[in-house]
């Protein structure tokens, strides 16, 4: 009570009064914004703190905390987040109810600092309002880069760039040096994407520019995944209490310089691509020739390129890194995968993408990694356009939705021994037909419904082809002195390894395979 003795009573009373008035004001806003028009109950959930709700409870690993809370409150959980409200779906059935049954009602994204400050005020494909412009961006992306036919057309690019990466890994092996897997994958995948978009490699395997790019991508995917207090209590957003928005503004400037340089250099070499347009040529044409009355601007194009380069490199790279880490901890899985490829492919040539349908165990490894280490632990948020009902609960209008993909992959009612890394679970009759394409809600690493990740087809091909090639081409070991791997996670939009994987590689195919 010593503190109260030195604190004037009238000031204490004023502080309490202001607190109560503020709380009543916020509660009135919530009631006004989310009016109850149903006798149905809201979903269960923790009460949280006054004013800020459950925000302080989420900590640095919100996907883990939300999974813990779901065990207590159920598969559809209601949370007060400042002046906003949110529901969290944590089981396949709950995810299906929101992403399939109520897909259209949850087809938009809520406003947030990441979309505003990083994605050019939500002008990109990931955060854009569901409507004509989003459909045009999605159509152009599918036709010329992300759709099935486009992916087949660019297969030679993936093979060529993977060849560059394999040679760099062989050089490291010759020098008896470990490779940092995340770095190697980021450069290789970024160059695959760069060839499709810009008709050129964008980074060398080593160099200050490529290192900076990787750091920028990781920073973007991390900062955009934060639960920013200003997003949930807009009245204090200007204070930027966590410093998140300041970092986003600086990062936006860096990416804008990089993307402007890419577009300017691409425009200057247009004459070299006559008759052979790349993705950026096609998209740039829509700046001049609008489709369906929708005009694209340079800002839209920069926002789209930002999506493709960041999400395209980070999500695929993280899945492959997690898979290699799990197999270094489980050598029998690595050996079985290599035995399968030796039988189907042999050791006198490299794996081709056409081999993958004949490699069910490799596909099972990829699925198991998606399950245990989803590239996006919490699906990008959505928001209800109208009030609705789910599982007998009332969901008000303007309710944010978060699907805990990480929790779904570890749901003991869906998966036997969910903490065990066991690809063989996808070889059983029960699970063999489950695919990560958004239709089987037990396994939705790319989300589901109409806002499923636009690059899910390319992501699946990239993971299977690159991971399969790395397993087939090299033997893998931990560096000398490393007895066990750190498997801790680092939260963001993409789920990174907290400690990047370093490994020793040794060529295992005939020497002629490595000659270019």
From the CB of residue 80, how many other CB atoms can be counted at a distance below 10 Å?
A: 22
Residue 319 is assigned to a structural domain of this protein: yes
Residue 102 is predicted with a pLDDT of 98
Residue 241 is predicted with a pLDDT of 85
Local confidence band at 474 (pLDDT 50, 70, 90 cut-offs): very high
Buried b (16+ CB within 10 A) or exposed e, 256-281: eebbeebbeebeeeeeeeeeeebbbb
Residue 23 is assigned to a structural domain of this protein: no
Q: For the sheet containing 502-507, what is the strand order?
A: 179-180, 502-507, 474-477
Tell me the C-alpha to C-alpha distance, in Å, between residue 62 and each of 65, 77, 86: 5, 14, 14
Instruction: Tell me phi and psi for residue 419, to 5 degrees.
Output: -80, -10
Query: Percent of the chain having pLDDT more than 70?
Result: 90
pLDDT for 38 beyond 90: no
Is 423:361 a contact under the CB 8 Å cutoff? yes
Cα–Cα distance between 477 and 287 in angstroms, integer?
Answer: 50
Residue 27 is predicted with a pLDDT of 57
The pTM for the full model equals 0.90
179's enclosing H/E stretch is strand 179-180
Residue 67 is predicted with a pLDDT of 98
Q: How many CA atoms lie within 13 A of 197 on its CB side?
A: 23
Residue 289 is predicted with a pLDDT of 60
Residue 16 is assigned to a structural domain of this protein: no
Residue 30 is assigned to a structural domain of this protein: no
pLDDT in tens, 119-132: 889 999 999 999 99
Residue 89 bridge partners (DSSP): 76, 403
Cα–Cα distance between 288 and 305 in angstroms, integer?
Answer: 18
453 has binding-site annotation: yes
Q: What is the mean pLDDT of residues 394-412?
A: 97
Buried b (16+ CB within 10 A) or exposed e, 46-71: eebeebbbbbebbeebbbbebbebbe
Is 364:426 a contact under the CB 8 Å cutoff? yes
Cα–Cα distance between 90 and 39 in angstroms, integer?
Answer: 24
DSSP 3-state of 191: helix
DSSP 3-state of 45: coil
508's enclosing H/E stretch is none
Q: What residues contact residue 260 under an 8 Å CB cut-off, 6+ apart? A: 302
Q: Across the chain, what does the average pLDDT equal? A: 89
Cα–Cα distance between 326 and 477 in angstroms, integer?
Answer: 12
pLDDT for 473 beyond 50: yes
**CATH number (domain holding residue 456):** 1.10.630.10
Local confidence band at 160 (pLDDT 50, 70, 90 cut-offs): very high
Q: What are the helix (H) ranges across 269-330?
A: 279-288, 298-329
Residue 19 is assigned to a structural domain of this protein: no
Our count of domains for the chain comes to 1
Cα–Cα distance between 429 and 427 in angstroms, integer?
Answer: 7
Residue 21 is assigned to a structural domain of this protein: no
Local confidence band at 7 (pLDDT 50, 70, 90 cut-offs): very low
Domain interval for residue 174? 39-514
Which of 166, 215, 209 lies closest to 188 in space, CA to CA? 166
Fill in the DSSP letter of residue 78.
E
pLDDT in tens, 166-213: 999 999 999 999 999 998 998 899 899 999 999 988 876 555 555 677
Which of 190, 231, 163, 147 lies closest to 458 in space, CA to CA? 147
Q: Is the dihedral angle over the CA atoms 317, 318, 322, 325 positive or is it negative?
A: positive
pLDDT in tens, 416-442: 999 999 999 999 999 999 999 999 999
Q: What residues contact residue 386 under an 8 Å CB cut-off, 6+ apart? A: 105, 397
Local confidence band at 22 (pLDDT 50, 70, 90 cut-offs): low
Residue 310 is assigned to a structural domain of this protein: yes
Fill in the DSSP letter of residue 243.
S
Residue 114 is assigned to a structural domain of this protein: yes
């Amino acid at each position: 009570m010593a503190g109260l003795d030195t604190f004037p009573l009238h000031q204490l009373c004023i502080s309490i009064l202001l607190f109560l008035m503020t709380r009543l004001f916020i509660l009135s806003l919530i009631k006004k914004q989310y009016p109850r028009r149903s006798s149905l109950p809201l979903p269960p959930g923790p009460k949280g703190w006054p004013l800020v709700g459950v925000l302080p409870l989420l900590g640095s690993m919100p996907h883990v905390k939300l999974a813990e809370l779901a065990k207590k409150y159920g598969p559809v959980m209601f949370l007060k987040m400042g002046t906003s409200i949110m529901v969290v779906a944590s089981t396949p059935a709950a995810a299906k109810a929101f992403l399939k049954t109520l897909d259209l009602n949850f087809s938009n994204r809520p406003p947030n600092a990441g979309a505003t400050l990083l994605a050019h005020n939500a002008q990109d494909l990931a955060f854009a309002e569901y409507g004509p412009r989003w459909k045009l961006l999605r159509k152009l992306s599918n036709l010329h880069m992300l759709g099935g036919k486009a992916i087949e057309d660019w297969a030679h690019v993936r093979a060529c760039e993977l060849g560059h990466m394999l040679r760099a890994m062989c050089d490291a092996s010759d020098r008896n040096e470990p490779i940092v897997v995340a770095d190697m994958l980021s450069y290789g995948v970024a160059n695959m994407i760069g060839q499709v978009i810009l008709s050129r490699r964008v980074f060398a395997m080593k160099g200050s520019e490529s290192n900076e790019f990787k750091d920028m991508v990781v920073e973007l995917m991390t900062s955009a995944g934060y639960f920013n207090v200003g997003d949930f209590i807009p009245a204090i957003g200007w204070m930027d209490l966590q410093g998140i928005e300041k970092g986003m503004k600086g990062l936006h400037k860096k990416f804008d310089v990089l993307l402007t340089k890419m577009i300017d250099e691409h425009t200057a070499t247009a004459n070299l691509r006559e008759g052979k347009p790349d993705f950026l040529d096609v998209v740039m044409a829509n700046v001049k020739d609008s489709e369906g009355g929708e005009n694209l601007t340079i800002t839209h194009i920069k926002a789209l390129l930002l999506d493709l380069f960041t999400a395209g490199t980070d999500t695929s790279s993280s899945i492959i890194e997690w898979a290699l880490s799990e197999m270094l901890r489980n050598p029998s899985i690595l050996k079985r995968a290599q035995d399968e490829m030796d039988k189907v492919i042999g050791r006198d040539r490299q794996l081709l993408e056409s081999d993958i349908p004949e490699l069910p165990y490799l596909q099972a490894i990829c699925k198991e990694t998606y399950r245990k280490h989803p590239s996006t632990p919490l699906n990008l948020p959505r928001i209800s356009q109208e009030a609705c009902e789910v599982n007998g609960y009332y969901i008000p209008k303007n309710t944010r939705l978060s699907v805990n993909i990480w929790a779904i992959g570890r749901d003991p009612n869906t998966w036997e021994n969910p903490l065990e890394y066991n690809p063989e679970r996808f070889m059983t009759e029960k699970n063999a037909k489950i695919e990560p394409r958004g239709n089987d809600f037990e396994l939705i690493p790319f989300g589901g419904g109409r806002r499923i990740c636009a690059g899910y087809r390319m992501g699946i091909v990239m993971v299977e082809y690159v991971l399969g090639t790395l397993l087939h081409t090299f033997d893998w070991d931990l560096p000398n002195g490393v007895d066990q791997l750190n498997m801790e996670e680092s939260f963001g939009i993409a789920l990174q390894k907290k400690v990047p994987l370093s490994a020793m590689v040794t060529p295992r195919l005939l020497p002629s395979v490595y000659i270019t």
